[in-house]
Structure 1
Amino acid sequence: MLASIEKKKTNEKHLNNMKKYILSIAVASLLYTKTEACAWSDPDYDYFNLFTQSIIKDKSYLPFLHNYSSRFYTDFNASQIPNENIESWREFFGNELSYSETDYLVNTISMNDLNALKKGTPNNQLLNKLGTGFYARYREAIDYLIEAKYLEPYMRINYVERPDSFYYRENENDKNATQLDYNKTVSALISLYNAAKNPEIKQRYGYQLVRFNHYMRNYDAAVKAFKTYVHPIKLKGAPYYMALDQLAGAQRGLQLWNEANWNFFQVFINSKSRKESSFVSMKLSDSASFNNLLKRAGTNEEKNMVYFLLGYEDYTNPIPMMEKMYEIDPDSEILKVMAARSINELERNYLPTYYYASKDSDKTSDKKNSAETAQGTEIKKKELSFWQKIVLFFKNLFGGKKSDKAEDKSAQSNDELFENPDRIPTYIKNNAYYYDQDENQKDFLDDLEKFTSKTKEKSKDEYWQIADAYLKFLKKDYQQSSKILAEIKTTNPEYLEEIKRMKVLNDIVSQPKIDAEYENHLMKNYAEYFIEKPIPEKDSTEAGKYDYYGKVPSTAEFLKDVLANRYFLQGEDGKSFLMNNTLSDLQYNPNSSLVKSVEQFYRKPDKTEFEKQIIAKNLNNVGNIEAFFVNIYGDRAMKMADFDKAKMYYQKAQKFSGIPRDNYERYNPKTGNYEKLVYNGEIYDGFNNIPNLVFGHNVWESFQSSDAESMKAEDYSAFTFIKSKMNKLELADALIQLKKIGNGKDLKASKANQLIGNVLYNTSILGYYRHLFVMDVDNSNGGKYDFWTTEKETPYQYYYKNFAYTTFIEPDNFDLSLNYYQKALNLSNDREQKARILFQMASAEQGKYYQYETKHPGNIDYADPKWSEKNDAHEKQMAQLKNQKYRNYFILLKSQYSDTKTAKELMGSCSYFEYFMRR
């Protein structure tokens, strides 16, 4: 059985490692593949976007803002990007139509409707409004639109399937250019071109000629058409760049790489709606491509754009490229895009939605320690009012001596709270696990702040002041950030919204301690950020945006995280926990100290309105709350073998209504289905229906099998108070009676101590009933059954968000079961019983080894070329230690009891024991 235990532990380790490995590969791949709505994870849901990138004024650059889940930023409405072709048509029509009406006329109205207008019998609502005189005034334009709408369905290149093509495409009936009569189409377009009098309309016909030849793969003819019909007309509006885009595509087909890149580059600069497509069309895979563009760049705008493209592709540190752009034009829109991307990159590492590092981690973060904070980035403290200083003085004067306990967080001064390096926001290098990290990544906050401060003095756009204020917020210089915000004068609605949000952030994050007075301030001034409102169906606003990834992180959620962190640092763990979790979540990590803190908040008589409406609402339905708490306390007392205390708690827990698993389903081997958990009075519910097999011993190691298969009952005939099924109160009472009997000196006392030892072992992390005292419904595997533990007060470093992701249960004390087994061994004269007891002791001793092993990992870097050699050496060292210090009872069993029937039976059921006995 010990072999089975070791094998189970190794397999679970390998399984967990494999899960993590597969997860990391799967998630990392999202960086390179455009994430569709059905995907299960989106890295852009792992930050709060407090600095709204999209406030840039030139919306044509929206696709080039920063994100990870797709190549281009997509969190905007496509209609926000202006279309220069529609703007050009609107101007052509003398602004008689609105933008939307022009778009409808150009892109939606059918060719038949336009022909009806031409005949003087319009039947379309918009065309009726315009009247037949509209055609008379704009005859050439309407005739062109009729021809364009005729051609449009065919204006796509003919896809040619290659024999070795990776993707399978079914036969498609889509129209393409090859389905038009080439000579007839070209002849018609040339004729219309020659007949047109208006230069812009002529150029549009030229565009159609270039596009048609391009899609026919007549690349030389496309180039010639541009030179003949587009370029000679000295207009460089929307039609010109639409044609230039097609010319560049034809040049790509002719493998004229540099010419194609340059023309796509011109489209990128001059077109508003084609920036994304032209960027994709450019092939900028090496430094030579950029150098060629830079050599040809004749204007400051062109040079600026080249530097932007270079900075866009290489993002380890954007500042050097931004400096070059600043030298050319400190007021350029594209420089603001780079700044937005840079701020977003910093925000993801300063303000992630979850801090993964724990206090025991060797890779906690690259956050500055308190000494570095003092010497480097100084934390600007919030100024206290004169009255607050007086109150604080008297609190310190009469508040008694400050506690000498390092853990007494409530006694911290304002300065201590401000200087805590774990005070959010704080920098976490390579925080995200889902995309490849560049080893050269650095915290460029200081450099970007200097750059922004410099640029805001040169540029007239308030954008740079807002950016500067935000960077000072990240640096915890809240006073200066607030000062900058107060001085900004703007009427831009997006800027005003950002300024409003940042003022709230500065106020809350700069508060030294969150006390009752400040909680009242939050409810009075910022209730909108904390009181959840019902989300209307099909609401597409930020507040109600849901999809397969869950809810988009919001400013309100960030503020809740900040407050959870503040309560955590202040020692108010119960409030910190309830900011991010519900009461029922305690079942997943029923740590005694945390549960006690939550209970203290629950019983607090004078809660503030903030505590009532925001925190206490998470005291969700767990049935009888009093019974919920005392059941957890009773469980811990049982784990500590304090049966009298456990009984006292369990007497108050008899109204416990079951572990709250409303949406829990588990596999039923009898039906082969996953079925909703229903406490029907027969199954274990966290308090009732514990079988007497908990006093027995396991015959083989299988948590998935029924207890009747895995466990064997002892002889309980001498202990009539042990019932076939018990609740926890009855179990505690039975253990108390066994403990009294165990104080005797006879064989019955020996058996009583053995049964107590069995219960303690069977309910430990290694036992079949490992779930009884850790608020679990069954023994199926999970984080509660990892041997991971912490030397710290808590494994959490910032707050209790994602509570169930980290084990937070006090570890087993295997010495407790060993002590009872030792008493049983000393009082017994029965060699068979002694053999069984020694094997149970060997099993508990193995638990002590697992705990030691987990606390002393090899920590060998996989990148180490001698990893295999070092890992083998570490495993050899641990095996040697195990045999020297954690095989005492195995050795005793082998040396003195190998001839017993029990030992021989164990050899038949435990392969490792058989191997050990035959060595």
Structure 2
Amino acid sequence: MNSWKLYVSVILFASAISFAAEKPNNFCGYAPEYEELYYPVIDQKIVGDASLYPFLNCPWSTFCEFPETLTATQENLEDWRKFFGKNLSEEVLYQLIYSETSDWYQKLEDNNSNVVNGIMANKINKNLQKPFAKYMLLAKQCEGISSNKNGGNGWYQGEKSDDYDQKPELLELAMKNYKAETNSFLKNRYAYQIVRLAHYLQENEAALQYFDNFLKLDSEAPYIYYLALEQRSGAAYNLQKFQEASKGFLEVYSKVPSRRRSCALSLKYFDWSNPQLNDDFFTDNGYAEIQSFFKSYYYNGSISKEMQKLQEKNPNSPYLEVLAIREVDKLQNKIFANNYNKWYENFDTERALDFEPLQTLQEIAKNQLENKAVLRKDFWRIVLSASYLKNDDFKNAALSVSKVEKNSELYPQAKRLSFSIEILQLKTLDRKQIGWLFSKLKSDTQLNESRPLTAFFFNSISDLYKKDGNVIVSLLGSMDYSGENAQYSFERSEADLGNHWKLHYKNEFVADEVIQKIQNFINLPAKTDYEKLIVSKLKSNPQDYVNELKGTWYFQQNQLDEAISYFKKIENPSVFYGKNIRTELFSGAIREYFDTPFSEKSDKIHLKYKKFFGDDAPKIELEETYADNKLKLAQTFKKLEELAKNDPENAADYYYMLGNAWYNTSARGWFLNTLQYIGNNDRNSILGYDYDSDGQQKCTNSEFLKNATKYFKKATEAKGSKETKAKAIFMLAKTNYCYTTERNANYRYRIEVCGDHRDYFQILKNDYSDTAFEAEVIKDCSWYRVFLGM
């Protein structure tokens, strides 16, 4: 059970179900929190009544957080304080009610000297010791009881789960003790247990009668009365006496802060269109406002209609403010959407915006501002301003919020909304306006202390650069808004810019138009403070950053002279790569195992040319993620081509090594981080086939594989050993892969090669069956064995 145990048992008058709207599913089980999907520039907590915070808009939770109020334990102890008639400390009260054991209570009732003369017992008046102990013994036995109508879908909250039902015996004992008891406080406690037991036994009519006959409202100790009333309401619901049930729940909701959540949950079950729950009934009983609120809160009534009714009944109703701010929050969920992480764009974060409530909301806000009786007009100015944003009516939105005076408690919120309207009006990359907005945000604490507003500014500007094709600047200027950030400050948000996860995977930036965009940005004259901030996030000399990308782009196009030229311009290359190259990437392998170092599977042909590779040749143990020196690598590629021409007797080897280098740095190779910025564990993001699909899979013909094919073909045509040519033929098959997969009845795959893949296997079989290498292929390559029919 919960900390306050049986005294505040949850009402289970119907099968308990989950009330919360479920999070959408997403890949790998990940789902962001609702609050991460947008920037709540307008704080919902501007409503006037903090006790209603739980009912703000947070659709993926049953309720939003509950404000600090007296807990059920505290409320219960305050009642017990009256019983003991002494100024006992909360610690002593807690010990007497919650911490003592059944054995202690039994000994107290039996007048055991060790207990009766003890410190705790002496806190209790002698004439109250035995009656108190007798009640607590019953209470302890009732502690784990549960409703007989839990059903299979109910909550488990620590209730006793054995088959024997003690409730009939406990009810009989409670009745006996109630009749014998003379203390009015304890009689009310027994009466509560009687009503609760009858309710849980589904003796619903009896539960109502017990409450009406036994419970007395004690103005000095009312807590247990309202707990019993909540139980009575559950029993009334079971009897379909919906007026009695709803009235009871609403009364407890109004009187006992710690039971608000429970009663609000219970009220969800009601069909508010039922004739019993008509407006006149609630008006006559003083619950008209709460009825209108819950009716619309649980989507059982027209939000527009209920807001209008609330406005007519009480224009200062706190419930009207809550319904209004909920609609505003649904609107800002769309207007201030967070697209920092691309998968957020796939979430249907809320049902489609309903135009009718927004139109009604705008009319209500206007009426509220014209009504002299309305006290919190600035709240409605903010609501009215937000309502105009639905149709991009920025002029009226700005005008409305500008009327909030500086001395208003809502002025900081009004300033933030006004600033966000200025951001929304930015449709193009207006350097001057962006710079001005950034300076304004940076210099105004009332603006930049809002994390949602700060994120909205940075990510809105980021989106503009993204639309303009300036991907790098867009990412450099984006702010991560995921998760809670208790340590937020504007200075920290500035410092954290430039850490978008995509910036660590620069393979998408190796495109001429992307590189030109960042070059143009770096070359901007008279940069604004915003632009200076973005450039500073490159974490390197800005021109070095561009030259490294440009050199890589030329390298990928096999334009080695241009690549070498740009790499030589880099003033501080250690920021981007190491001093050496992994010469192992010039060797080939029949197959790779990603839990085994490449060096254990490669043919190590590069070691045959130690003199050519120099000091780098033995450096085969460099780690898998080592960043190869691109200048040295490009120069090595070029020298190998020259060697193939100058040393024709070994040209097959040189071309074979070049083919290996292109294959190994492709998406299928072991060294793809060399020219593509991502490691082996991230290759799926650039692979061009689907692991899980049956049917035919073919190579993607990337520039890497095209170059590999070119050099492997040259190796087969050039002078050199037959063993090397056999290797080149096999690598041509790997490079130009084509295969089909079929599952048999036992869900085992059968793979058959096709197209060029099959043709190169055929050449290997026909022309190179006498080579030692072909024998290695038979041993190590299962696909080749299938091809041979083995």
Which one of the candidate residues 237, 241, 257 is aligned to 1:258? 241
Task: Say whether 1:452 aligns with 2:371.
Answer: no
In the aligned structure 2, how far is the partner of 1:447 from the partner of 1:328? Answer: 21
Task: Say whether 1:815 aligns with 2:706.
Answer: yes
Alignment partner, residue 740 of structure 1: 642
Alignment partner, residue 477 of structure 1: 393
* 2:547 and 2:569 in contact (8 A); partners too: yes
In the aligned structure 2, how far is the partner of 1:632 from the partner of 1:257? Answer: 73
Task: Say whether 1:62 aligns with 2:45.
Answer: no
1:443 is displaced (CA, Å) by: 3.1
Which residue identity is paired with 1:248? E
Distance 1:531 1:168, change over 3 A: closer
Distance 1:524 1:252, change over 3 A: closer
Which one of the candidate residues 63, 72, 75 is aligned to 1:72? 63
1:304 is displaced (CA, Å) by: 5.9
In structure 2, the residue corresponding to 1:698 is in which secondary structure? coil
Task: Say whether 1:160 aligns with 2:112.
Answer: no
In structure 1, the residue corresponding to 2:662 is in which secondary structure? helix
* 1:189 and 1:208 in contact (8 A); partners too: no
Task: Say whether 1:339 aligns with 2:330.
Answer: no
Task: Say whether 1:615 aligns with 2:534.
Answer: yes
In the aligned structure 1, how far is the partner of 2:157 from the partner of 2:362? Answer: 54
Alignment partner, residue 754 of structure 2: 883
Alignment partner, residue 560 of structure 2: 643
Which residue identity is paired with 2:592? E
Q: Structure 2 stretches of 5 or more lacking a match?
A: 1-17, 24-29, 90-124, 161-166, 479-496, 620-627, 691-700
In the aligned structure 1, how far is the partner of 2:19 from the partner of 2:589? Answer: 45
Which residue identity is paired with 2:367? K
Alignment partner, residue 114 of structure 1: 87
Which one of the candidate residues 451, 458, 463 is aligned to 1:560? 458
In the aligned structure 1, how far is the partner of 2:212 from the partner of 2:85? Answer: 33
In the aligned structure 1, how far is the partner of 2:630 from the partner of 2:19? Answer: 49
In the aligned structure 2, how far is the partner of 1:268 from the partner of 1:472? Answer: 39
In structure 2, the residue corresponding to 1:787 is in which secondary structure? coil
Q: Deviations over 1:750-790 (max 9, x none)?
A: 332222111111111111111212235x533455554389x
Q: Deviations over 1:492-520 (max 9, x none)?
A: 62x33322211111122213445443244
TM-score normalized by the length of structure 2: 0.68
Which one of the candidate residues 243, 261, 279 is aligned to 1:277? 261
In structure 2, the residue corresponding to 1:282 is in which secondary structure? helix
* 2:196 and 2:231 in contact (8 A); partners too: no
In structure 2, the residue corresponding to 1:47 is in which secondary structure? coil
Alignment partner, residue 352 of structure 2: 442
Which residue identity is paired with 2:663? Y
In the aligned structure 2, how far is the partner of 1:600 from the partner of 1:316? Answer: 56
Which residue identity is paired with 1:592? V
Equivalences for residues 750-829 of structure 1 within 5 A = 750-776=652-678, 779-782=680-683, 785-787=686-688, 812-828=703-719
1:228 is displaced (CA, Å) by: 4.8
Aligned residues: 652
Task: Say whether 1:43 aligns with 2:52.
Answer: no
Alignment partner, residue 632 of structure 2: 730
In the aligned structure 2, how far is the partner of 1:238 from the partner of 1:888? Answer: 94
Which residue identity is paired with 2:360? F
- Between 1:59-68 and 1:307-316, the stretch displaced more is 307-316
Which residue identity is paired with 1:498? Q
Which residue identity is paired with 1:211? Y
Alignment partner, residue 803 of structure 1: none
- Structure with the larger RCO, 1 or 2 (CA within 8 Å, 6+ apart): 1
Alignment partner, residue 592 of structure 1: 510
* 1:698 and 1:768 in contact (8 A); partners too: no
Which one of the candidate residues 762, 767, 781 is aligned to 1:910? 781
Which residue identity is paired with 1:78? E
Q: Deviations over 1:843-875 (max 9, x none)?
A: 2222xx69xx9xxxxxxxxxxxxxx9xxx9xx9
Distance 1:307 1:168, change over 3 A: closer
- Between 1:811-820 and 1:629-638, the stretch displaced more is 629-638
Distance 1:207 1:223, change over 3 A: farther
1:575 is displaced (CA, Å) by: 3.3
Equivalences for residues 395-410 of structure 1 within 5 A = none
1:605 is displaced (CA, Å) by: 5.9
* 1:294 and 1:306 in contact (8 A); partners too: no
Which residue identity is paired with 1:607? K
Alignment partner, residue 579 of structure 1: 477
Q: Structure 1 stretches of 5 or more lacking a match?
A: 1-27, 34-38, 87-102, 117-142, 194-204, 359-364, 366-427, 534-541, 544-552, 660-685, 790-809, 854-867
Which residue identity is paired with 1:449? L
Q: Deviations over 1:396-417 (max 9, x none)?
A: xxxxxxxxxxxxxxxxxxxxxx
Alignment partner, residue 500 of structure 1: 415
Which residue identity is paired with 1:114? N
* 1:245 and 1:263 in contact (8 A); partners too: no
Equivalences for residues 144-543 of structure 1 within 5 A = 158-160=143-145, 169=158, 186=178, 210-211=191-192, 213-214=194-195, 223-224=208-209, 226-228=211-213, 243-250=225-232, 252=234, 255-256=238-239, 258=241, 261-267=245-251, 270-271=254-255, 273=257, 276-280=260-264, 282=266, 284-285=268-269, 287=271, 292-294=276-278, 297-299=281-283, 302=287, 305-306=290-291, 308-314=293-299, 332-354=317-339, 430-432=347-349, 441-444=351-354, 446-459=355-368, 460=371, 461=374, 462=377, 463-487=379-403, 493=409, 495-528=410-443
1:837 is displaced (CA, Å) by: 1.3
* 1:209 and 1:222 in contact (8 A); partners too: no
- Between 1:465-474 and 1:153-162, the stretch displaced more is 153-162
Alignment partner, residue 589 of structure 2: 698
* 2:330 and 2:353 in contact (8 A); partners too: no
* 2:21 and 2:60 in contact (8 A); partners too: yes
1:532 is displaced (CA, Å) by: 11
